[in-house]
Amino acid sequence: MSQTNRLSSGGLIDRRKPLSFQYNGKQYQGYEGDTLASALLANGVDIIGRSFKYSRPRGIVAAGAEEPNAVMQIGASEATQIPNVRATQQALYEGLVSSATNGWPNVDFDVMSYVGKIGGKMMPPGFYYKTFMWPQTMWPTYEKYIRKAAGLGRSSTMKDPDQYDTLNHHCDVMIVGAGPTGLAAARAAAATGARVIIADEQEMFGGSLLSSRELINGKPAIDWVRTVVDELSANPDVVMLPRSTVNGYHDHNFVTIHERRADHIGDRAPVGMTRQRMHRVRAHWVVLATGAQERPLVFAHNDVPGVMLASAVTTYIERFGVVPGNELVLMTSNDDAYLTALSWASTGRKVVAVVDSRAKADGDLVKQVIDKGIRVIFGSAVYDVDGGTRVKAARISGLTADGKKLTGKSETLSCDTIASSGGWSPVVHLSCHTGSRPVWDDNIIGFVPGETQQKQLIAGGIRGHYDLLDCLTEGMNCGYVAAERSGYGPVGKRPEYKVARIRRSPAMPLFLVPHLKPISQAPKQFVDLQNDVTSAGIELATREGFESIEHVKRYTAMGFGTDQGKLGNINGMAITAQVLGKSIAETGTTVFRPNYTPITFGAIAGRNCGELFDAKRYSAMQPWHEENGALFEDVGQWKRPWYFPKSGETMQQSLNREVLAVRNSVGILDASTLGKIDIQGKDAREFLARVYTNAWAKLGVGKCRYGLMCKEDGMVFDDGVTSCLAENHFLMTTTTGGAARVLEWLELYHQTEWPELEVYMTSVTDHWATMTISGPNSRKLLAQLTDDIDLDKDTFKFMDWRPGTVAGVPARVFRISFTGELSYEINVSANHGLQVWKKLMEVGKQYDITPYGTETMHVLRAEKGFIIVGQDTDSTLTPYDLGMGWAVAPTKPFSFIGKRGMAREDAVKPNRKQLVGLMAKKPDVVIPEGSQAVANPNQPIPMTMLGHITSSYYSATLGRSIAMGLIRGGLDRMGETVYYPQADGSVIEAEICSPVFYDPKGDRQNV
Amino acid sequence: MEKYSALGLLKHSLSNHENWPRLWHNPTPKKKYDIIIVGGGGHGLATAYYLAKNHGITNVAVLEKGWLGGGNTARNTTIVRSNYLWDESARLYEHALKLWEGLSQDLNYNVMFSQRGVYHLCHTLQDIRDNERLVSANRLNGIDNEMIDAEQLQREIPLLDCSRNTRFPVLGASVQRRAGNARHDAVAWGYARAAAALGVDLIQQCEVVDMVIENGAITGVKTRQHGVIKADRVGCVAAGNSGVLAKMAGFELPVESHPLQALVSEPIKPVLDTVVMSNHVHGYMSQSDKGDLVIGAGIDSWVGYGQRGSYSIIEHTIQAIVEMFPAVSRVRMNRQWGGIVDTCPDACPIITATPVRNLFFNCGWGTGGFKATPGSGHVFAETLALGKAAPLAEPFSMFRFHSGALIDEHGAAAVAH
């Protein structure tokens, strides 16, 4: 198909660079500089979509972000599919593959449109709330069919091949919009030396000037644009971002910008380039130069392909050299739209008539049109359209001065295009993101930004100022003011702008063109094209009691589409006000929220996907673990060895081997991941006493102590061993997963509650590699690797620590035990970790040293009844509930965190859930963790539950299963039987016992 | 009340829908009511409905400072489930779930309750233990919930990445198949219509600015628009504004008000027919009947009353979603919004008598209030009718924070939904 609607000259496209693209399986041609929409219009494609609810054929209406219909599927391969791309904002590139998102079997002939035609009357707003209720059991079936109609485009089913990234900036002046106002602002601000960022959603800077015939300083406006762009490009303090949408304006002048770096190049980004980028900008001052969007007029059948925005028609002609039809009827309520008639006439195609709702108008543009001999019909309006898949004629009639009624005879004007204009709506969206409500201004017939808390200036179209000279001057002034307020200036000579003023006659507020019939009986007058919201729908909503504008929006779905009501919302609000007999100011607006236009999930996620979703942390000994076949467990951010299977072993066999090695000879555990916090200062000891439940006053240098930490409610929150390194210097250890939150907790208390304490905390987890050797042979092993630490059992006792040298490197050795065996925790600098670990393995060979992982560690500690916070506790247990009252020192002089909480009446009741040991009656049965205990397994549901199994293992040491768990009042119920009903109907019987299953006196760790 | 039906739609279509009755009116408030409910959201409207329907108390007004259902009812992500850990909360939410199951018919308003299932993903061994515990507790409480492994999960949810290649591979999930979604606005409108039909006065644009308290008992409320309106009993159901109302009554509530955000994608063809949540990766997603992917995660950690949140939360949320569902990376986010949630120290609500006689509060639902709407209204109506806590409400007294009888549901509510 040839480009039937393409002019032979004119526009900003490059006719020397033809591009071929695909739409709905057919090949077409366009040019570099085209958007997908302009290329489709050039090729005479009328129908580009089907409406959401009624499946009505739809054509391109607009030329920018406000386009409601041309929502396309883009992508040449499965992995590169992008749903819902607005054709008006997609640059054409060679090989672009696109298709319409709705319509079956195709968009030109859609079976659903017959359903829409026949059933449409049965589908007013909210019809689904009133039906699909009988019988109740059928709703899933009804919904299945409702869901079939859901959505526009489709998601890829594969992983995204592209990458995205994020940049942070600070700047003095952030300018949103690079039309005349924004460019003048940027030029002014940049001249002062301020750091400027200017972003615009379009492919190139220039905004309205890209399709303007006006002169600036005697030259075509586009020349001025090029000059300013060159000037700004040469300034190193200016960041220019075309194809970049400011999607969100957040508190404290934080602005997010979505830059499409490669979407104009091809199906996916070139190698080495990210597809899109989020800029996160913190600006001293923000200048909103976002301009205005044209409001269409609402009349019957205003959705037939060929009905377009007047300014869009101008843009297609002037910027893209495309005339989207042959015979134009222009319907307007203001002077600006007369430009469209002038543009159309200049192409040599026919302007049938300009239909103006005003009784008279004599502005400059009106005069020019009349001078050209074009028929202008005042005091009239297009109230209906003939045609199904393309406009065939406009029906016009006289209109009363208030625009509320038709008068006189109607006339039918044959045409294939109707351009309409109801005036301009300032793009106030961003100004609302930080909570400011826009204000209705009768003078400009539109909403303007309301008061704001932000350091924000507004200029040009967003204020309802549309004259080019005003835009340039206001932009310039705002640029200077923003720069000066950011500390730049003083300003030298200001540039002068000479632009011939266009005299405009007053516009008329007109939001709904009346029909011969009342709203409820007239043919559909569309307000929101994407969601098929009509004036009758709005009227019905108010009739049913939905009178708040938010109710109207929600009941009708107005503004809920991917265009978020840019085209239709103001008309909808005005129509709501009209049917309620209120003013627009009283009715107000709904709230505009981010995003201004939709942005890619991948771009928001940036680099933080896949491998980089969250940091992976490994200990210094990781290479050894991997070489030796460890399986890993995620604990917090850490990858910890879970166990070390040997070939042919089941998991249980590996665990048994590792457990017995520790009990009988020596095992080695990588304990580097435990959180380590270095605490110093003259009040460090006092601080510890306040955050731990037990006493710290007397812990001497060289000694270690176990401590429990509670929150204010008295419930256990973390635990660990803290050692006294020097009088004012301690090393605290925390659980692996809790390290960060414990440090935050300590800092919170220090900074907000006890700032008077002199104490300093530093995370040193990563500084140290920690290896625990545990088992009866551990002392012998260590003795072979150190010659400056006295390992004598009476001088280096259990719960002591010593500095010294291990395997030739400086070390801290802690004699503490989480297995119940004689154990030493050797800490060396992380850089030496691997070397010392290898040495231990080498020397340990004679004792058959066995590496073990977290799972074996869990079994070993459970044999001893040692808790794991987070597994055996759940933030509902006091130290007393855990049988660990010995770790609470209620007589400490200063109250510790949680003291009062754990003393509350319900926290000290005898019948609380308490941690006990449990032995299944059948020793080979391992009770599933999480199982809930009951006293009587035969009671009806809901059963009375006593508590649950927190830890459960097979113990190779004991040759039977063991478990720890909570039982209501369990500490006083030793020897009693409880039952664990399972999902399969079976019941496991178990006896309550002490949680210390092995070596109850603790002899083995003290040897 | 005119009964809604397909036949009714047909009938009204013949008269161009010109004769549909109003769902509710705008009555002028009376001087005095038996019971005033402050807050016209889902919970407040449900309370009014059950007061009228179950207790025969129809001299009731609901005072709403904005528009009906305009607070968190209009801002949540519509998830309904009852798989809570502790007996007290499990009973309350299961009571609500049972009411959901017949709600459209009861109200003669289609609230589109769809039991499409809710999955809780497990990424760590501790996640597995926690979910085994939850499933076991639910089963013995008579609430459906089951564990499935990663392979079955992958079969049931093709869009979810259950491979081992992710940062935190999915090890399994618990799934409550009776859980699902409902249409949030419809819940408020359905209750409002049914309550109005039973004689309840729904008074919008009516802001309570003070409480009238005499001799330790409430006798009415002072409103900005209509002066003092008297009542024998007052129930406050005002979500994020509860703290403000309590202050008027002279006491403090143990709640903090935080912004909570949610977001939706553009509408796309159906790819996800259920609700998937992950506490560990920290995000959740479902797909609406319109095709939007509905997404949420955590609260902003600071307190505030601005109904918007900070962008960093959105980033983390989307990162989690792309991690779980890498195929949606090229789909685009359409819109974000925020509401104010009042959170309690134990992540459970407060349904309570107060230090002021005849004044009752229903608040503190945190991030999970929508799912409880029918149960909350039902139980609070009973509380207001009795003049003391209904049996299901007893454990949720505000005085539990003094006694220490907390119901810690942080595990169940770790991802804010």
Structure tokens at A891: 């007589």
Residues A712, A790 share a domain: no
Check CB contact of A161 with chain B, cutoff 8 Å. no
Rounded mean pLDDT, A11-36: 97
Residues A891, A759 share a domain: yes
pLDDT band at A790 (very low <50, low <70, confident <90, very high): very high
Position A236 pLDDT exceeds 70 = yes
pLDDT band at A23 (very low <50, low <70, confident <90, very high): very high
pTM (2 d.p.): 0.96
Residues A283, A301 share a domain: no
Position B417 pLDDT exceeds 60 = no
CB atoms within 10 A of CB A438: 20
pLDDT band at A814 (very low <50, low <70, confident <90, very high): very high
Task: Report the 3 state secondary structure along A210-228.
Answer: HHCCCEECCEEHHHHHHHH
Query: Pick from B159, B334, B405: which is nearest to A562 by CB?
Result: B334
Asked if residue A402 belongs to a domain, the reply is: yes
Asked if residue A946 belongs to a domain, the reply is: no
Check CB contact of A157 with chain B, cutoff 8 Å. yes
| Cα A207 from Cα A970, distance rounded (Å) | 75
Q: Is B322 in contact with A602 (Cβ distance < 8 A)?
A: yes
Residue B9 confidence (pLDDT): 94
Token pair 């800029």 is found at A279
Asked if residue A364 belongs to a domain, the reply is: yes
| Cα B208 from Cα B221, distance rounded (Å) | 6
Check CB contact of A409 with chain B, cutoff 8 Å. no
Residue A401 confidence (pLDDT): 96
The helix (H) or strand (E) run that includes residue A171 is strand A164-176
The helix (H) or strand (E) run that includes residue B247 is helix B242-249
Chain A environment of B404 (Cβ under 8 Å): 713-714, 901, 904-907
Q: Is B335 in contact with A133 (Cβ distance < 8 A)?
A: no
Residue B165 confidence (pLDDT): 87
Distance from CA of A260 to the nearest CA of B (A): 12
Query: Pick from B281, B291, B326: which is nearest to A159 by CB?
Result: B326
Query: Pick from B17, B267, B337: which is nearest to A540 by CB?
Result: B17
Position A595 pLDDT exceeds 60 = yes
Residues A548, A463 share a domain: no
Q: Is A595 in contact with B335 (Cβ distance < 8 A)?
A: yes
Q: Residue ranges of the alpha helices (H) in A105-235?
A: 112-119, 127-130, 139-148, 180-191, 221-233
Token pair 């195929």 is found at B327
Position B414 pLDDT exceeds 60 = no
Distance from CA of A145 to the nearest CA of B (A): 10
**Cβ pairs A/B, distance under 8 A:** 323
Structure tokens at A855: 């799972």
Q: Chain-wide mean pLDDT for chain A?
A: 96
Residues A176, A260 share a domain: yes
Rounded mean pLDDT, A156-179: 97
DSSP conformational letter for B24: S
Structure tokens at B213: 């308290």
CB atoms within 10 A of CB A230: 9
Asked if residue A970 belongs to a domain, the reply is: no
Asked if residue A553 belongs to a domain, the reply is: yes
Q: Is A930 in contact with B204 (Cβ distance < 8 A)?
A: no
Distance from CA of B64 to the nearest CA of A (A): 13
| Cα B165 from Cα A472, distance rounded (Å) | 55
| Stretch among A98-112, A180-194, A568-582, A760-774 having the lowest mean pLDDT | A98-112
Which chain B residue lies closest to A554 (C-alpha atoms)? B185
Position A825 pLDDT exceeds 80 = yes
In A431-470, the residues whose Cβ lies within 8 Å of chain B are: 433-435
Query: Pick from A80, A555, A604: which is nearest to B314 by CB?
Result: A604
Chain A environment of B403 (Cβ under 8 Å): 904-906
Q: Chain-wide mean pLDDT for chain B?
A: 95
Check CB contact of A147 with chain B, cutoff 8 Å. yes
Rounded mean pLDDT, A91-104: 93
Residues A274, A320 share a domain: no
Give chain B's length: 417
Residue B415 confidence (pLDDT): 54
Residue A252 confidence (pLDDT): 95
Rounded mean pLDDT, A949-978: 98
- How would you label A725-747 residue by residue, b for 16+ Cβ within 10 Å and e otherwise? beebbbbbbbbbbbbebbbebbe
Residue A957 confidence (pLDDT): 98
Residue B411 confidence (pLDDT): 67
Give DSSP secondary structure letters for A694-763: S--TTPPTTBEEEEEEE-TTS-EEEEEEEEEEETTEEEEEE-TTTHHHHHHHHHHIIIII-TTS--EEEE
| Biggest alpha carbon–alpha carbon distance for chain B | 67
Position A962 pLDDT exceeds 60 = yes
What are the tens digits of pLDDT across the range B71-92?
999 999 999 999 999 999 999 9
pLDDT band at A590 (very low <50, low <70, confident <90, very high): confident
Q: What is the dihedral of CA B358, B363, B398, A690, to 10 degrees?
A: -150
Residues A194, A235 share a domain: yes
pLDDT band at B298 (very low <50, low <70, confident <90, very high): confident
Give chain A's length: 1007
Position A804 pLDDT exceeds 70 = yes
Token pair 């050894």 is found at A624
Nearest partner of A707 among A572, A569, A897, judged by Cα: A897
Distances in Å between the Cα of A838 and the Cα atoms of A616, A644, A671 are 23, 16, 15
- Top residue of B64, B100, B256, B269 to mutate, by most chain A CBs within 10 Å, is B269
Check CB contact of A639 with chain B, cutoff 8 Å. no
Asked if residue A381 belongs to a domain, the reply is: yes
Position A105 pLDDT exceeds 90 = no
Nearest partner of A660 among A1007, A316, A956, judged by Cα: A956
CB atoms within 10 A of CB A620: 23
Q: What is the dihedral of CA A307, A311, A314, A319, to 10 degrees?
A: -120
User: Distance between terminal CA atoms of chain A?
Assistant: 93
Residue A571 confidence (pLDDT): 97
Residue A248 and residue A258 in contact, taking contact as beta carbons nearer than 8 Å: no
Residue A7 and residue A321 in contact, taking contact as beta carbons nearer than 8 Å: yes
Residue A76 confidence (pLDDT): 97
Rounded mean pLDDT, A687-692: 97
Query: Pick from B4, B130, B131: which is nearest to A131 by CB?
Result: B4
The helix (H) or strand (E) run that includes residue A385 is strand A380-386
Position A576 pLDDT exceeds 80 = yes
Position B412 pLDDT exceeds 80 = no
CATH number for A577: 1.10.10.1100
Residue B304 confidence (pLDDT): 87
Residue A807 confidence (pLDDT): 97
Q: Is B109 in contact with A130 (Cβ distance < 8 A)?
A: yes
Check CB contact of A141 with chain B, cutoff 8 Å. no
Query: Pick from A280, A564, A907: which is nearest to B404 by CB?
Result: A907
Q: Please give the residue range of the domain that contains residue A310.
A: 294-423+507-515
Asked if residue A316 belongs to a domain, the reply is: yes
Domain count across chain A? 6
Domain boundary among A801, A831, A846: A846
Task: Report the 3 state secondary structure along A40-78.
Answer: HHHCCCCCCEECCCCCCEECCCCCCCCCCCCEEEECCCH
Distance from CA of B339 to the nearest CA of A (A): 13
Check CB contact of A152 with chain B, cutoff 8 Å. yes
The helix (H) or strand (E) run that includes residue A578 is helix A569-580
Residues A379, A466 share a domain: no
Residue A735 confidence (pLDDT): 95
Residues A171, A125 share a domain: no
- Type of residue numbered A335: D
Distance from CA of B318 to the nearest CA of A (A): 6
| Cα B239 from Cα B257, distance rounded (Å) | 9
Residues A780, A746 share a domain: no
Which chain A residue lies closest to B289 (C-alpha atoms)? A147
Give DSSP secondary structure letters for A935-995: S-TTSPSSPPEEEEEEEEEEETTTTEEEEEEEEETGGG-TT-EEEEE-TTS-EEEEEEE-S
Position A492 pLDDT exceeds 90 = no
| Cα A622 from Cα A417, distance rounded (Å) | 71
**What phi, psi does B139 have (nearest 5°)?**
-60, -45
Asked if residue A982 belongs to a domain, the reply is: no
Position A365 pLDDT exceeds 60 = yes
User: Distance between terminal CA atoms of chain B?
Assistant: 34
E strands along B266-331, which residues? 275-278, 283-287, 293-299
CATH number for A833: 3.30.1360.120
Position B70 pLDDT exceeds 90 = yes
Residue A396 and residue A410 in contact, taking contact as beta carbons nearer than 8 Å: yes
Distance from CA of B331 to the nearest CA of A (A): 6
What are the tens digits of pLDDT across the range B220-268?
999 999 999 999 999 999 998 999 999 999 999 999 999 999 999 999 9
CATH number for A321: 3.50.50.60
High-pLDDT (> 90) share of chain A, %: 94
Of the ranges A134-138, A716-720, B296-300, which is most confident? A716-720
Residue B381 confidence (pLDDT): 98
Position with higher pLDDT, A833 vs A136: A833
Residues A216, A179 share a domain: yes
Residues A749, A889 share a domain: yes
- How would you label B50-74 residue by residue, b for 16+ Cβ within 10 Å and e otherwise? bbbbeeebbbbbbbbbbbbbbbbbb
Residue A136 confidence (pLDDT): 87
Residue A488 confidence (pLDDT): 96
In A511-570, the residues whose Cβ lies within 8 Å of chain B are: 520-521, 536, 540, 543-548, 550-551, 554-555, 557, 560-562, 564
Residue B128 confidence (pLDDT): 96
Going by their DSSP bridges, the two strands A196-199 and A26-32 should be labelled as unpaired
Check CB contact of A983 with chain B, cutoff 8 Å. yes
Residue A227 confidence (pLDDT): 97
Q: A537 in helix, strand or coil?
A: helix
Residue A842 confidence (pLDDT): 98
